[in-house]
Structure 1
Amino acid sequence: MNSSTKFYSLFGSVFFLFAGYGLFLNSAGVKLAQMGVNNIAIGALNAAFFVGAALSAVVAHRIVSRVGHIRSFSVFGAVFAMAALGHMMMENLWLWAALRILLGFCYFSILMVVESWFTERSLPRKRAKVLAIYNVVYYVAFTAGIALLSLKLSSSNIFTLAAILVMAAMLPVGLTKIAEPALPPRQRISLPHLLAIAPLALVGSFLAGIMVNGFFTMSSVFLLQQGFNLQQISLYLMLAMLGGFVVQFPVARLSNRYGRRNIILLWAVLAAAASLAVLLAMWFWPGSPLPHYLTAFVFGCSLFTLYSLSLARANDVLPNNMNTVEISRSLLFCYGMGSLAAPLLLGVAMEQARHYGFYGVYLVCALLLAGFAWRQKPVPQAERSVFVGMPGDSGAVIADLDPRNEAAHEPFDAAAAQAHVDTANQDTPNPEQDKADTPPAA
């Protein structure tokens, strides 16, 4: 069987996986809200999913190395299905939290297994194309999962369908003759070192995790409390996905030309302006869905590329011949920590300010990101890498598909990276300093 057919099977697997993920992630909060659970508890339960994701980053690599990809894939899929169906047998929220930890662990572990196959089977010159298709599949499948919300499924049907979709992801791989890949070696990077080397990349990744997965986990709860029905909530979420999809190519060209720092600053200001505008609209025109729809589209355009921009910024400040795979994994970890904090933060804000807490958090986060980006120095165009679209909701192995590392033969070295950044900072002109050094006109 040729490699293209194998890729079709892998893309088929990730399609079902992303669709199940999109359905479960966006419907969980709605079902809890309909049960009368308060916002803080909903946020904690949604955060439990990302606790599982963090555990997957630590443990799954060892499991796969010990028993192999095929067996691991089957075990993770079976446990996911059991955990999803287990929701229908109990209503104790503590047990639900445990089940959600299992779901997050299994989902991201399956994703890691599939992505390792992509990395192993794709030729270096084809990785940009594979990654582009992967990105398209992510948006299409995630949107398909969101669209299922409009069918008014019961809680039992939601959990059953999520389990069916994830189990369907096992079929294409299980029916394909494909050799098991070798997992790439892992290298630990200190986050304080990363903060010193690429501060905007780290802060941008963390805040992107808060704003993107906070949007998916808690926006449906917020809209339900504002009187939206399931069809309106589904449309709201799909508009955000549409915005994120259509902006992928324009943001690549803009950031390559004007720099990541400037585009991150622009997107943060745009998100802050949209948050403030919708808060004012809620005050003067309560009950109108149009301002919310427009805000969702703007959020999709501005927020869904923040992780890719942060990753590109990290690539910009490192030497061209230095491999950035471990940097990518560290930034993905920061994105995951933001995703973990997001439901808790939004749950508290929505409980304290029922009508304005949700968008209030986005206003504050966007302003923090804009202020931090404003204080960073831009990277000259000659030293910038090429922008590559990377979904934040992916496994750590996806970093090995990044085509920017094809010509990078040197492993990551924190001391060399820090020296490179220090030299660049000394050589980069500071406009404010130039103004201060310029003598006044006679």
Structure 2
Amino acid sequence: MKTLSNKFYALFCSVFFLFAGFGLFLNSAGVKLAQMGVNSTAIGALNAAFFVGAALSAVAAHRVVSGVGHIRAFSVFGAVFAMAALGHMMTDKLWAWGVLRVGLGFCYYSLLMIVESWFAERSAAGERARVLAFYNVVYYVAFTVGIALLSLKPSSNDIFTLAAILVMAAMLPVALTRMSAPQLPPRQRISIPRLMAIAPLALVGSFVGGLLMNGFFTMASVFLLQQGFGVRQISFYLMVAMITGFAVQLPVARFSDRYGRRNAILACAVIAAVGAVAGLVLMLLDVGGVWAQYGVSGFFGVGLFTLYALSVARANDQLPNEMNTVEVSRSLLFSYGMGSLLAPLLLGAVMQQAQRYGFYTFFAVGAALLAWVAWRQQVVPEAKRSVHVAMSGDTGPLMADLDPRNNEGVMRPFDEVAAQQYADELAQEEADKPA
């Protein structure tokens, strides 16, 4: 098997440090606030500020990079990230923390966009599947490392300092690279209403995936602190979810290739809902053992971590095989991002109103609603399914350009009318099948 060229290893080092810093900061963000006695609604709002920055990055970062170049822009965003992280140590005012977190989110997703633009341009067509697969492995390993650092019980100041160090470490391989700066691809439009008509389950699945995944990462630590668990136990709880989520990527992909994305999304949603209900039952029975909670976390890892990839695969199934799907993938990523933005806001409010039962109730209801939507959809015939590709929604917007499903055949631009006609044909074929 042909190995990846050395030019990519430097970039993978950068994204490793970025993901590790992101994993540490995202999962520890609520710990200090909960220890300060801040209510769940306010914690959710502050966590949502990070994803507000992500949304602003999608609008403005492109212009900064185009103006000063990739390497300079990377240094600027890395420096501002470090300043924003360290700025938390200088004040306890919540409004100031909110502003700083907007800056962190803006810089983090801008940094990812810069690195991913190199991956997208420098990857040959036959190389993209390996690049994307390795990128996925780096994401899970680095994110888990970031969570593992939390188990060392660092102080809040140490967390902010370490997050800044990790991001500054990510600047080094990029600053020393000899690769010429790539061209940023043109910004593509996002057509959410049309996508809803063509692939409703894909759009709903990506939104609920963002809602549940980043609700889990931003508020699980707050919930567990309220239940009396220590920081090390919280770290292990999150690591169990990451490890099981990584372990099921290939089995879920094979299941969806054989039985369809609709059935895979339905199964994953049911598993997540069962896990949440089990968590509620344990609380009602006053079973407070940490190992029981680790079991619930395992259910979440199995049920939640493949929802975005399955949603993208479902959308690809409902488009002609020769049609480029980058625009659709970016629309789904936008939907995932909106779910991520709303997740801590909604979950914080639910946890504030329903107290200790709110966390698992939120996941039970969200997963059940997704299962209901999936149940009402039709299965795409096996002969017309695309290939499943494992990918995470917690990446930058340019990873869609690496999707190997766009490598084969004659690629024609996404066409809304042709895509809708094809989706209608699939629906008619399914309707014409004998009962």
TM range (shorter): over 0.9
Counterpart for residue 189 of structure 2: 188
Counterpart for residue 157 of structure 2: 156
Cα distance in structure 2, aligned partners of 1:355 and 1:38: 13
Cα distance in structure 1, aligned partners of 2:414 and 2:365: 34
The letter for the 2-side match of 1:364 is V
Counterpart for residue 429 of structure 1: 431
Counterpart for residue 354 of structure 1: 355
Normalised TM-score (structure 1): 0.96
Counterpart for residue 6 of structure 1: 7
Counterpart for residue 263 of structure 1: 264
Counterpart for residue 440 of structure 1: none
Q: 1:405 to 1:39 in 2, by over 3 A?
A: same
Counterpart for residue 324 of structure 2: 323
Counterpart for residue 304 of structure 2: 303
| RMSD over equivalenced CA pairs, Å | 1.2
Counterpart for residue 380 of structure 2: 379
- Contact 2:206 2:335 (C-alpha < 8 Å) held by counterparts: yes
The letter for the 1-side match of 2:427 is N
Q: Does residue 121 of structure 2 align to residue 120 of structure 1?
A: yes
Counterpart for residue 65 of structure 1: 66
The letter for the 2-side match of 1:216 is F
Counterpart of 1:411 in 2: which secondary structure? coil
Cα distance in structure 2, aligned partners of 1:89 and 1:406: 50
Question: Deviations 1:345-372 (Å, cap 9, x if unpaired)?
Answer: 1101111111110000000001100000
- Contact 1:3 1:121 (C-alpha < 8 Å) held by counterparts: no
Q: CA deviation at 1:312?
A: 0.2
Q: CA deviation at 1:288?
A: 1.6
Counterpart for residue 44 of structure 1: 45
Cα distance in structure 2, aligned partners of 1:116 and 1:294: 39
Structure 1 residue runs of 5 or longer lacking an equivalent are 436-442
Cα distance in structure 2, aligned partners of 1:189 and 1:90: 39
- Contact 1:264 1:373 (C-alpha < 8 Å) held by counterparts: yes
- Contact 1:186 1:326 (C-alpha < 8 Å) held by counterparts: no
The letter for the 2-side match of 1:72 is A
Q: 1:325 to 1:285 in 2, by over 3 A?
A: same
Cα distance in structure 1, aligned partners of 2:132 and 2:34: 37
Structure 1 window deviating more from structure 2 (272-281 vs 372-381): it is 272-281
Q: CA deviation at 1:36?
A: 0.9
Counterpart for residue 417 of structure 1: 419
Structure 2 residue runs of 5 or longer lacking an equivalent are none
Cα distance in structure 2, aligned partners of 1:102 and 1:79: 8
Q: CA deviation at 1:430?
A: 6.2
Q: CA deviation at 1:3?
A: 7.2
Cα distance in structure 1, aligned partners of 2:331 and 2:75: 28
Counterpart of 1:385 in 2: which secondary structure? coil
Q: CA deviation at 1:79?
A: 0.5
- Contact 2:4 2:131 (C-alpha < 8 Å) held by counterparts: no
Q: Does residue 204 of structure 2 align to residue 203 of structure 1?
A: yes
Q: How does 1:395-414 map to 2 (within 5 A)?
A: 395-407=396-408, 408-414=410-416
Cα distance in structure 1, aligned partners of 2:274 and 2:76: 46
Moved over 6 A (4+): none
Question: Deviations 1:270-314 (Å, cap 9, x if unpaired)?
Answer: 111111111111111332222210111111111000000000000
Question: Deviations 1:154-206 (Å, cap 9, x if unpaired)?
Answer: 11111010000001001111112111011112221321101001100000000
